[in-house]
Structure 1
Amino acid sequence: MGKKIVLAGGSGFLGKSLANFLLGKGYQVVILSRNSAPLDGQIKYVQWDGKTLGDWASEIDGSYAVVNFTGKSVNCIYTKKNREEIVSSRLDSVRVLREAILQCKQPPQAFVQAGSLAIFGDTTERCDENAPFGSGFSVDVCKQWETEFFKEALTTPRQVLLRIGFALGKDGGALEPLKKLVSLNLGGTVGSGKQYISWLHIDDLNNMFLEAIENTSYSGIYNATGPTPITNKEFMKSLRNVMGKGWTPPAPTPFVWLGAYLFMQTEPSLALTGRNCVPKKLVDSGFTFQYTDIEVALKDLISS
């Protein structure tokens, strides 16, 4: 049997993609999920609530690595209740996983946390790992999240936090709603179009997780994004090109606000803000990107 990797909260788009990637590499995969266990081939599902110790903790003991994806989706309207759940789901899962690790007889050698580039706020300035943080609710969430993850320095396991960018993959994730808009001839520039998208291909992200799990030199915080961020205007133009669509009228900011609240049931700031981030530490560590050109990445995901 291969090394066991535990994916906490791994039943979402990014978690399932990593699970299947790891299976292909010969690992055992266990997903901790709030939902009852589905039938999903070789992946083992174990129920947990994301905040209290239970029988699930036995899966951590003797595992090779733990990767934590847990957190309520930010793709919602930021009501008081949703804000509280966005924060608590992230902090509670970090705390209880650390508690489970500390009681292990054979602790995992790596504890990898999925974080977010949202910590840099809304900026067009180039941001590496040492750039100043932004301001606002999303930034505050990320700051609390990272502080909690590194609150207690663990000798074993290594602690790695990946600030994930705009991950592009097939059959889900951030790309699907944009593809739908383009197919309906609604894929124009969003708002000013000057907001940056720090994008990366899902294959590169999965390899980043693998490096964080296996490479003992990885420790601390990394910007998990591609090396070539682009503006929303450039991104939407590339997506239209790949999908064979011509020029489309832009979506002015007032329309984006209206559509987000009335039809998408989400915060308009998710579409109207952005950040220009680069993966300096990954590049310095020698990480090799498969996809650095947006149209090449989109053709792989849409045409294949």
Structure 2
Amino acid sequence: MSKKIVLAGGSGFLGKSLATFLTNKGYQVVILTRGKSGSSDGVTYVQWDGSKLGEWAAEIEDSYAVVNFTGKSVNCIYTKSNREEIVSSRLDSVRVLQEAIRTCINPPQAFVQAGSLAIFGDTREVCDESSPHGSGFSVDVCEQWEEAFFKVSFAKTRQVLLRIGFALGKDGGALEPLVKLTRLNLGGTVGSGKQYISWLHIDDLNEMFLQSIEDNRFEGIYHATGVNPVTNKEFMSTLRKVLGKGWAPPAPTPFVWLGAYAVMKTEPSLALTGRNCIPRRLQDHGFTFQYTNLEETLKDLV
């Protein structure tokens, strides 16, 4: 029987992409979801609530690895209730998965947590895994999240946390709204345009997850991002070029604030801040990137 990998909260864009990738590699994939239990495209879906033990915990027993994607999307307005849910959804899922692993007779050999580069706040300085953290709500969330994940250790289960960058994939994810805007001739520079985007192709991200699962050398925190971060100005210019669009009007900061709150119903800081991060530890492990050129990557995707 093929090895089983459990993707907690894996029904989103990144989780479904990894599920397809792992299935094609011959793994049995189970997604823990708030939706109904069932199966689709070779993937089994098991209902859970992400906060307390239930029948779903039986899926962790004898599994090869657990990957946790759970957490309320940060693509929202940071009201008091949304802030509380952003934090609780992350901490609760980490805690309850730790409980499930502790109850196993045959626990998974790897527990991989999807984290975020937002722990560095808004910075143009080059950041690797050892760089100082930033400040603000998103940073606080990431710090609590990472602390909770590493607070508990296991005798037989490696723990890996991937701080994921701006993952670019087809038909969804972070790239889709930018493509739509650019096709409407609205793909101009956002704000100052100097904020960095630490991007990577989703195929490379899936390979990072696979190596984190299979390679015993992987333990601790890694930056899951590409080797060539670019500024927002560079990114949007390249996207316009790939889509055959010329100059587009920039979106000054006041308009970004207005559009974010009034139209997109999200926090303007998501577009106006950035991080210049590199995958130092992955490079030390000899990880091979398939995609290092932004223009070639965007041509592949759009």
- Residue number in structure 1 paired with 2:2: 2
User: Per the alignment, in what secondary structure is the counterpart of residue 159 of structure 2?
Assistant: strand
Q: Which residue of 2 is the match for residue 14 of structure 1?
A: 14
After superposition, give the CA deviation of every residue in 1:12-57 in whole Å (9 maximum; x if it has no partner).
0000000000000000000000111355121000000000000000
Task: Provide the rounded CA distance (Å) in 1 between the counterparts of 2:70 and 2:256.
Answer: 29
The runs of 4+ residues in structure 1 deviating greater than 6 Å are none
In structure 2, the residue matched to 1:182 is 182
**Which residue in 2 is equivalent to 1:156?**
156
Instruction: Give yes or no for contact 2:38–2:46 (8 Å, CA) kept in 1.
Output: no
Structure 2 gap segments, 5+ residues each = none
Contact 2:9 2:69 in 1 (8 A): yes
Aligned to 1:292: 292
Q: Which residue of 1 aligns with 2:219?
A: 219
- Distance in 1 (CA, whole Å) between partners of 2:198 and 2:36 is 34
Aligned: 1:99 with 2:104: no
Q: Deviations over 1:172-228 (max 9, x none)?
A: 000000001001100000000000000000000000000000000000000000000
Residue ranges of structure 1 left out of the alignment (5+ in a row)? none
CA RMSD of aligned residues (A): 0.6
Q: Distance in 1 between matches of 2:152 and 2:300?
A: 41
Q: How big is the shift at 1:152?
A: 1.3
Q: Which residue of 2 aligns with 1:129?
A: 129
Show the 5 A alignment for 1:113-262: 113-262=113-262
Q: Give, in whole Å, the separation in 2 of the partners of 1:265 and 1:86.
A: 16
Q: Which residue of 2 aligns with 1:263?
A: 263
**CA shift for structure 1 position 155:** 2.0
Measure the CA separation in 2 of the matches of 1:38 and 1:242.
40
SS of match in other structure, 1:129 = coil
SS of 2:119's partner is helix
State the distance in 2 between where 1:282 and 1:155 align: 24
Q: Distance in 2 between matches of 1:35 and 1:147?
A: 29
Query: What TM-score results when the alignment is normalised by the length of structure 2?
Result: 0.99
How far apart, in 1, do the equivalents of 2:192 and 2:37 lie? 44
Matches of 2:52 and 2:35 in 1, distance apart?
15
Q: Which amino acid aligns with 2:201?
A: H
Q: Which amino acid aligns with 2:242?
A: V
Distance 2:288 2:180 in 1: 31
In 2, the alpha carbon distance for the partners of 1:37 and 1:245 equals: 44
3-state SS, counterpart of residue 150 of structure 1? helix
State the secondary structure of the residue aligned to 2:67.
strand
Among all aligned residue pairs of Structure 1 and Structure 2, give the percentage whose two residues are the same amino acid: 75
Aligned residues: 302
